[in-house]
Structure 1
Amino acid sequence: MRRATEATAPLSDAEPRHPGERDPYLTQLGERIRSLRAARGMSRKDLARGAGVSERYLANLETGTGNASVLLLRQVAAALNVPLPVVLAEADGGNGARAAEFGQLLQWLAQLPPADLARVREACRNALAPSAPFDARHQRIALIGLRGAGKSTLGRALAAARELPFVELNGAIEQEAGATLSEIHSLYGQAAYRRYELRALERVLREHERLVLATPGSLVSEPATFNLLLANCYTVWVKTSPEEHMARVVAQGDMRPMQGNSEAMADLRRILQARTPLYARADAVIDTSGQSLDASLQALQTVLQDAGA
């Protein structure tokens, strides 16, 4: 089957109900694509290159100014590494959290082999026994959130206070791949990085019954990996303001994935907005905005004690 191109499947103007009015579905479609792109930390240029379309074409698609062919939307979905139904799904009354949950569920189910899918179907059919109030998950504390929130600094302090091992999942990923993070992305691509990320998490969970774990900010965008984390760890979303995120990232000398982007703050806000419903799946949340390390650590300890973790 021939690959769709902009030349063979042009982005034509949708028929408006009134002059200048955009079709609501196309607007929602564009917002969903932009949100999915932001959640995965991809620039418009990255997505356009991965989907085999121009940035101008993608910009028109994201702003809802035209009607794309299904084949081109399929290419965009493949570049985003999500099933096409996630891209095409209609909005659910503005409930971003529910939409994100639905998208995560679809992505996770799409990755399962038939035997595992049958088990999931059976589990959904039967009522599941409630979890114990205190179980093995509480022995592993995992910190999630965007870069610059303070996960590593806070994680090390918590591990020291509780005399627990501290693991930075980024380091475990590099050990798994035998390469640095930048080398993994440049040599093997994002799909390979995601495989190494999942393997690294599986290994860390096998090796540690008790630990404090700091995770990469984009881990929540990969359903299988995030669900594994949620099932095996007590997760805490470490959040802060966009301004503090940016200031800390710049202080670290790390501008991924916003390097060379003159609208870095706008991109960061978009990423935060897209990932918020995913980060919100955590068991607990603390806000480090304007807080010292000692104050943030005390807030984290209080949250954990209240949860029996």
Structure 2
Amino acid sequence: MSSVESPDRAAAEAAGGRHPFLVALGERVRTLRARRGMTRKAVAQAADVSERHLANLEYGTGNASILVLLQVAQALRCSLAELLGDVTTATPEGLMIRELLEGRSEAELRRARRALDALFGGGSAEDAARRSRIALIGLRGAGKSTLGQRLAEDLGFAFIELSREIEKFAGCAISEIHNLYGAPAYRRYERRALEEAIQIYPEVVIATPGGIVSDATNFNLLLSHCTTIWLQADPADHMARVAAQGDLRPMAASKEAMEDLRRILDGRRAFYAKADLSFDTSAWGHDVNAAFEALRQRVREHLGRKDPAT
């Protein structure tokens, strides 16, 4: 037998005896779970596996069967390929596109996505319409409803909360949609509500649900048709504002609410960062008026609108 150590074995020893593939798989599971805003317990229940088994998988110490991985992928509402990290495409053209994108920076990928969107999505006429639809994205407690309504009034636009429109389509509360029909049905209602808002309102400010970035189809639709603004806040401010509203979703069942919130934010940060603008609402503390004045100036400058106050 050769005394030369294999690269896989060397990598596994460097990772504390864990195989690097399993370590990477576990990290993807944690990232996807955070992006969906789901606790480990919720994913374990949805996947019909023990919480301990899921924890082992997340930390790269569990060698799960392909069926367990499929159950976890379904619970996380993603493909098995996404969970495994395999983005191999099924057609020659798809494979060639993949090769062109391989190794590109985030900035280059963004330009590629926008070029494809312009090619397939409508061109300059849609660009003009996009500027008069403003969508606020971010976690609960960022100020989307409070600042969004005031921004709409300032611009003379309509204002809608997409969550309320989703409930109208479903005929029940958001929590009941998830409990009765599951997350896939919720995403379908979310897409229908967003499509209708885009069709009906040429000038609108939309306060979106925090998890809209978790669905690539819905988020692409939003980016294509709206000027997006990421309302940011410190995790402590997010928590305090949501608690003040009497609602701790999606952290209510967790004993480590702040840790869960930070992980959700970390899992979604790269997607929120796709917004056209970002605005930190924590910079003004509890002064809502000051935060709004700063936001309205940023938005008017971006849209090229003259401030009537000047």
Name the TM-score class by shorter chain: 0.7 to 0.9
1:73 corresponds in structure 2 to 69
Please report how far the alpha carbon of residue 260 of structure 1 lies from its aligned counterpart in structure 2 after TM superposition: 2.5
Please report how far the alpha carbon of residue 201 of structure 1 lies from its aligned counterpart in structure 2 after TM superposition: 0.8
Partner of residue 171 from structure 1, selected from 164, 174, 189: 164
1:183–1:146 Cα change, 3 Å: same
TM-score normalised according to structure 2 size: 0.80
1:249 aligned onto 2:242: yes
Q: Is contact 2:121–2:224 with CA below 8 Å preserved after alignment? A: no
Q: Is contact 2:22–2:60 with CA below 8 Å preserved after alignment? A: yes
Most deviating of 141-150 and 127-136: 127-136
Secondary structure, counterpart of 2:13 in structure 1: coil
TM-score normalised according to structure 1 size: 0.80
Q: Is contact 1:29–1:90 with CA below 8 Å preserved after alignment? A: no
Instruction: List runs of 5+ in structure 2 lacking aligned partners.
Output: 1-10, 88-102, 305-310
Partner of residue 35 from structure 2, selected from 31, 36, 39: 39
Larger Rg: 2
2:226 corresponds in structure 1 to 233
Q: Output aligned runs, 1:119-198, within 5 Å.
A: 131=124, 135-198=128-191
Please report how far the alpha carbon of residue 196 of structure 1 lies from its aligned counterpart in structure 2 after TM superposition: 0.8
Alignment RMSD:
2.7
Q: 1:300 & 1:19 partners in 2: Cα distance?
A: 46
1:272 aligned onto 2:265: yes
Q: 2:296 & 2:263 partners in 1: Cα distance?
A: 30
Q: 1:129 & 1:55 partners in 2: Cα distance?
A: 46
Alignment length (residue pairs): 269
Instruction: List runs of 5+ in structure 1 lacking aligned partners.
Output: 1-14, 106-122
Please report how far the alpha carbon of residue 244 of structure 1 lies from its aligned counterpart in structure 2 after TM superposition: 0.3
Partner of residue 208 from structure 2, selected from 215, 224, 231: 215
1:296 aligned onto 2:291: yes
1:86 aligned onto 2:79: no
More helix by share: 2
Please report how far the alpha carbon of residue 264 of structure 1 lies from its aligned counterpart in structure 2 after TM superposition: 0.4
Q: Which amino acid aligns with 2:49?
A: V
Q: Is contact 1:142–1:215 with CA below 8 Å preserved after alignment? A: yes
1:160–1:54 Cα change, 3 Å: same
Q: 2:198 & 2:44 partners in 1: Cα distance?
A: 36
Please report how far the alpha carbon of residue 246 of structure 1 lies from its aligned counterpart in structure 2 after TM superposition: 0.5
Q: 1:78 & 1:127 partners in 2: Cα distance?
A: 30
Q: Which amino acid aligns with 1:71?
A: L
Q: 2:283 & 2:218 partners in 1: Cα distance?
A: 31
1:117 corresponds in structure 2 to none
Please report how far the alpha carbon of residue 165 of structure 1 lies from its aligned counterpart in structure 2 after TM superposition: 0.9
2:94 corresponds in structure 1 to none
1:119 corresponds in structure 2 to none
Q: Which amino acid aligns with 1:195?
A: R
1:290–1:129 Cα change, 3 Å: closer
2:8 corresponds in structure 1 to none
Q: Which amino acid aligns with 2:74?
A: A
Partner of residue 23 from structure 2, selected from 23, 27, 33: 27
Q: Which amino acid aligns with 1:191?
A: P
Q: 2:120 & 2:203 partners in 1: Cα distance?
A: 29
